[in-house]
C-alpha cells in the first residue's frame, strides 16, 4: 500500500505550490529535499537581523493579478522597486537603459537627442540582420552602451564571447526614453516583508517535509512510496543522463558582514568591466529598507558549471535545446510523473512564472 498520493522531489516554488494545492484538495503529500532547508533558491538566511538572499537576489514582479493575490495570502509585500546601478571603471550609470543613462553617457537631455545618438550609432554599425548577441545589442542601443554596459558584463556572466552567444538572450533588454529607473514594467512588484521564507512556510503549512534526503540515493524506495511523483530536479539526471548532460552556468557567492550601516546605497550594483571578476554586489538590507547598524554584502561571481555545483542558468543553445527535446519526449510518455520547474523543464523561470506553471499543472491534473 502506497502511503502518499504525491511524492514531491524538491521544496522550491514549483514543489511547494504543487504540494499546497494538492493538500487543499485532500491529497496526501510528502516533500523531500536534499538541502538542509526548504524553499529552493528563494531561501533567505537571517544574518545580523537582515534577510540575506542565499542564492542571489530575488525580486518578485508580475502583471498577473491572480498570482499577485496568491502570494499575498502568505506575506505582505513592501514597495521595493528594482533599480540597479552599473559601475564601469568607477563611473555610475542608471539601469535599465533610460533617459538618466543616456544623460550620463552623452549629456543628452531630450528623448529626441538620445534617440538620434542611438540611431546614428546603429547606422554606423551597418547591422541589418543580427546574428549574435553583440550584433543584437548594438542594433538595439548602439555601440557606446554596448561596450560600456553590456559587452564585458555579459562575457563575464556567460563565460563566452558576446559574438558566440545567441541574439535571443538580449531581446528582452528594456530601453526607455523616459527618466524611469524601474527595471521591470510589471504592475506588481516588491519583496515579502520578513523575507521569502514566509511564503514557503505558508505554502508548506500542514505538509510533511523531509530535508537532507537525496532521492537518487534510494531511488527505488522513494519511487514506490507514493502513487505519483512530482520531480523538480534535473531532468537529465532523472533519466540517468542517457542522452548526455545538459549544460548550465553556475554562480558563486562571497558574503561579508560590514561594521557600517550603508555600504553602497542600493540593493544591486552591477560591475560591467572585465577588471572585476564579479558581476555584481548585493546589499541585502536595501531590499527591505533596513536600518540595522551593520550590513551584509554579497559578491556574485559567475562560474562555469561542473558536477556538484548549483545549476542556475540553462544554456539554451541549439545543442542543449535538442538534447532537452529528447528528454522531454521521454517525460511525455510517463503516466504518474510530473516534471516541473526550472531544472526539470530546462528553462529560465521568473518566480511568478514558476507559480503560474505549478497552478496550471495542479488544475489540469486535479480538476
Convert the pLDDT of each residue in 168-189 to its tens digit. Answer: 888 767 899 999 999 999 999 9
Q: Alpha-carbon distance 151 to 177, whole Å?
A: 22
Domain boundary among 142, 170, 198: 170
Instruction: State what percent of residues in the chain have pLDDT above 70.
Output: 99
Task: Let me know whether 213 and 358 are in one domain.
Answer: yes
Task: List the domain range (segments joined by +) for residue 160.
Answer: 98-170
Residue indicated by cell numbers 544554456 = 315
Q: Which residues have a catalytic role annotated?
A: 172, 176, 249, 280, 300, 348, 350
Tell me, yes or no, whether 183 lies in a domain: no
Tell me, yes or no, whether 303 lies in a domain: no
pLDDT for residue 243: 97
Domain boundary among 170, 204, 232: 170
pLDDT level of residue 367 (50, 70, 90 thresholds)? confident
Tell me, yes or no, whether 300 lies in a domain: no
Strands annotated E in the chain: 4-9, 29-33, 44-47, 50-53, 60-62, 85-88, 91-94, 188-190, 208-211, 226-231, 248-258, 268-271, 280-283, 295-304, 313-314, 337-339
Task: Let me know whether 319 and 232 are in one domain.
Answer: yes
For the domain that residue 193 is a member of, what is the CATH number?
Answer: 3.40.50.720
pLDDT tops 90 at residue 149: yes
pLDDT for residue 137: 94
Q: Alpha-carbon distance 203 to 207, whole Å?
A: 9
Tell me, yes or no, whether 103 lies in a domain: yes
* Short-list 51, 53, 54, 41, CA closest to 14: 41
pLDDT for residue 6: 97
pLDDT for residue 11: 98
Q: Alpha-carbon distance 264 to 261, whole Å?
A: 10
Read off the DSSP letter of residue 247: P
Task: Let me know whether 75 and 209 are in one domain.
Answer: yes
For the segment 55-114, what is each residue's pLDDT rounded down to a tens digit? Answer: 999 999 999 999 999 999 999 999 999 999 999 999 999 999 999 999 999 999 999 999
pLDDT tops 90 at residue 316: no
Q: Alpha-carbon distance 235 to 14, whole Å?
A: 14
**Number of compact structural domains in the chain:** 2
- pTM recorded for the entire structure: 0.94
Task: Let me know whether 13 and 71 are in one domain.
Answer: yes
pLDDT tops 90 at residue 343: yes
Domain boundary among 117, 143, 170: 170
Q: Alpha-carbon distance 99 to 72, whole Å?
A: 33
How would you class 235 by CB atoms within 10 Å of its CB: exposed for 0-12, middle for 13-18, buried for 19 or more? Answer: buried
For the segment 36-49, what is each residue's pLDDT rounded down to a tens digit? Answer: 999 999 999 999 99
For the segment 247-286, what is each residue's pLDDT rounded down to a tens digit? Answer: 999 999 999 999 999 999 999 999 999 999 999 999 999 9
Task: Let me know whether 110 and 239 are in one domain.
Answer: no
Task: Let me know whether 150 and 193 are in one domain.
Answer: no
Tell me, yes or no, whether 322 lies in a domain: yes
Mean predicted lDDT score pLDDT of the chain: 95
Task: Let me know whether 19 and 69 are in one domain.
Answer: yes
Task: Let me know whether 215 and 329 are in one domain.
Answer: yes
Tell me, yes or no, whether 135 lies in a domain: yes
Tell me, yes or no, whether 268 lies in a domain: no
Residue indicated by cell numbers 532547508 = 37
Tell me, yes or no, whether 51 lies in a domain: no
- Tell me: cis bond preceding 96? Omega within 30 of 0 counts: yes
pLDDT for residue 1: 62
Q: Alpha-carbon distance 249 to 231, whole Å?
A: 21
Q: What 3-state class would DSSP assign to 218?
A: helix
Amino acid at each position: 500500500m502506497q502511503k502518499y498520493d504525491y511524492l514531491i522531489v524538491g521544496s522550491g516554488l514549483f514543489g511547494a505550490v504543487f504540494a499546497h494545492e494538492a493538500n487543499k484538495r485532500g491529497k496526501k503529500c510528502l516533500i523531500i529535499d536534499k538541502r538542509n532547508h526548504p524553499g529552493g533558491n528563494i531561501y533567505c538566511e537571517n544574518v545580523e537581523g537582515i534577510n540575506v538572499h542565499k542564492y542571489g537576489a530575488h525580486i518578485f514582479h508580475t502583471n498577473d493579478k491572480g498570482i499577485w493575490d496568491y502570494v499575498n495570502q502568505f506575506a505582505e509585500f513592501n514597495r521595493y522597486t528594482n533599480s540597479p546601478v552599473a559601475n564601469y571603471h568607477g563611473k555610475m550609470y542608471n539601469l535599465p537603459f533610460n533617459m538618466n543613462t543616456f544623460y550620463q553617457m552623452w549629456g543628452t537631455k531630450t528623448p529626441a537627442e538620445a534617440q538620434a545618438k542611438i540611431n546614428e550609432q546603429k547606422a554606423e554599425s551597418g547591422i541589418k540582420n543580427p546574428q549574435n548577441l553583440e550584433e543584437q545589442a548594438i542594433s538595439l542601443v548602439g555601440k557606446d552602451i554596448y561596450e560600456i554596459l553590456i559587452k564585458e558584463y555579459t562575457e563575464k556572466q556567460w563565460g563566452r564571447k558576446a559574438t558566440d552567444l545567441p541574439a535571443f538572450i538580449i531581446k528582452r533588454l528594456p530601453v526607455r526614453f523616459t527618466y524611469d529607473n524601474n527595471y521591470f514594467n510589471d504592475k506588481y512588484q516588491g519583496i515579502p516583508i520578513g523575507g521569502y521564507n514566509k511564503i514557503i512556510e505558508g505554502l508548506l503549512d500542514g505538509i510533511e517535509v523531509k530535508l537532507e534526503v537525496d532521492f537518487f540515493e534510494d531511488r527505488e524506495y522513494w519511487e514506490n512510496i507514493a502513487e505519483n511523483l512530482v520531480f523538480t530536479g534535473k531532468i537529465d539526471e532523472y533519466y540517468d543522463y542517457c542522452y548526455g548532460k545538459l549544460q548550465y552556468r553556475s554562480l558563486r557567492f562571497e558574503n561579508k558582514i560590514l561594521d557600517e550601516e550603508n555600504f553602497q546605497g542600493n540593493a544591486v550594483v552591477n560591475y560591467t568591466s572585465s577588471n572585476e571578476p564579479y558581476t555584481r554586489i548585493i546589499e541585502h538590507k536595501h531590499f527591505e529598507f533596513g536600518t540595522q547598524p551593520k550590513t551584509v554584502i554579497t559578491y556574485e561571481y559567475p562560474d562555469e558549471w561542473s558536477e556538484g555545483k548549483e545549476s542556475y542558468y540553462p544554456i539554451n543553445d541549439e545543442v542543449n535545446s535538442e538534447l532537452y527535446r529528447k528528454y522531454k519526449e521521454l517525460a511525455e510518455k510517463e503516466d504518474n510523473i510530473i516534471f516541473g520547474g526550472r531544472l526539470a523543464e530546462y528553462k529560465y523561470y521568473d518566480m511568478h512564472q514558476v507559480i503560474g506553471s505549478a497552478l496550471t499543472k495542479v488544475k489540469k491534473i486535479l480538476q
